[in-house]
Amino acid sequence: MKNKPVIFYEIKSMGLITLVPFISFLLLLLLSAGVDKFVEFLFVNQIFCSVPVSFWSAYIIYDYLENNGRDLFLSLGRSKLSLIFYKNIVITFLYIIFMIFFSAISQIIFIGKILPSILIANIIQAFFISSFTLLSTIIIKSSMWAVFVQIVYAISFTGLVRELDFLSVYFKDDRAFHVGIGGLLHKGLILSAIIYSITVMILLKKRN
């Protein structure tokens, strides 16, 4: 419970970055009212529901990796390093709560009902993007470029890249969506677990 006020204080300290997901969610609602085909809605929904979490995931640890906190971060003990993951998990779950709400509204706007399979896909994608952002931020040591990596990844694997499907947590068309939610669930969890494992190894190596 002691960490909870700290987390919310740090969320507030992100400043305008805190508002980015909500701006994206509002754009999602506007675009959902303007698209005609399900495949178009699927593209808009996946992009605007998953990518914004990268802003929170990257900038919640901004002071540790940029500014004057980098040396302190590398000197933190094992228990303190776990705090980085705690922040990432908390910020991700908080984001997912808001995301589910706005994704549900966007579905009602477009098709008049809520599809649980879309919400499941949104959660998997957001969780993966958050873990990938954490790893990218630590490797690149730049929150801005880490977010850029997620944007490129999301746009590429929702339509541009047809190969390397085993690295994608996105549906490229409505046919894949209707037959692939089970596979996406397993793949998303496995990829996220791999990314978190790599992140742990990198952090521990940086301390040695």
Note whether 42 and 174 are within 8 A (CB): yes
**Is-above-0.95 flag for pTM?**
no
Tell me what the mean pLDDT of segment 11-24 comes to.
87
Count the domains in the chain. Answer: 1
Contacts of 106 (CB under 8 A, 6+ apart): 28, 29, 32, 41, 44, 45
**3-state secondary structure at position 121:** helix
Nearest Cα to Cα of residue 146 among 68, 53, 82, 67: 53
Nearest Cα to Cα of residue 24 among 50, 43, 2: 50
Give, rounded to a whole angstrom, the gap between the first and last alpha carbons of the chain: 31
pLDDT score for 85: 80
Tell me what the mean pLDDT of segment 40-46 comes to.
91
Range of the domain at 16: 3-207
Tell me what the mean pLDDT of segment 42-71 comes to.
81
pLDDT score for 208: 54
Contacts of 136 (CB under 8 A, 6+ apart): 58, 145, 146, 149, 150
Tell me what the mean pLDDT of segment 156-160 comes to.
74
Cβ-based neighbour number of residue 7 at 10 Å: 16
pLDDT score for 170: 84
Q: How far is CA 58 from the centre of its chain?
A: 10
State yes or no: pLDDT of 23 exceeds 60. yes
CA angle 20, 45, 106 (to 5 degrees): 90
Q: How far apart are CA 55 and CA 33, in angstroms?
A: 25
Q: How is residue 41 written in tokens? A: 């809605």
